[in-house]
Amino acid sequence: MMKKPLLLATLLPGAILSLAACAVVPNAGPVVDSPREVAQQGSVVPLLQPVQLGRMVVVTPMRVTEDSRCPVGVQCIQAGRVVVETRIDGPGWRQTQPLTLGEPHTVRGVTVTLVSVTPEQRADSQVKSTEYRFAFEGG
């Protein structure tokens, strides 16, 4: 009787491994190739930090391409804007898109919005790329 449990114990891991290799995961989420852990929606993140939006979309702020906001304490004619080149990953697709603060962008039926950028622009010095933090909504 000892041989049967040993035989099952020996065969079972191989059978489970074979079944796992054939498994298909329906509605698999986006594949993100970032060394950083994916933050959850609502998180405030630095450049290159991916953020999960809903179940199917991950956004990653890649670089600030424009920051023409009016500095704190300065009176400006225009408020200015912030534009962030953002990678948007979905199941089986990827798009890089410039997102403007407060302006929704729709791709493949999903709306993504850059909702905040900190710190504020300063009159005495330029914001360094390592200082920027971003929040996104959507999914």
φ/ψ (deg, to 5) at 97: -140, 135
Say which amino acid occupies 119: P
Q: Which of 35, 87, 25, 85 is closest to 58 using CA atoms?
A: 87
pTM here is: 0.74
Q: Give yes or no for a contact between 96 and 45, defined as CB atoms under 8 angstroms apart.
A: no
Q: Which residue has the higher pLDDT, 124 or 103?
A: 103
pLDDT per residue over 99-111, tens digit each? 999 999 999 989 9
pLDDT per residue over 39-79, tens digit each? 998 899 999 999 999 888 999 999 999 999 988 888 888 87
- pLDDT score of 10: 47
Parallel, antiparallel or unpaired: strands 82-90 and 93-100? antiparallel
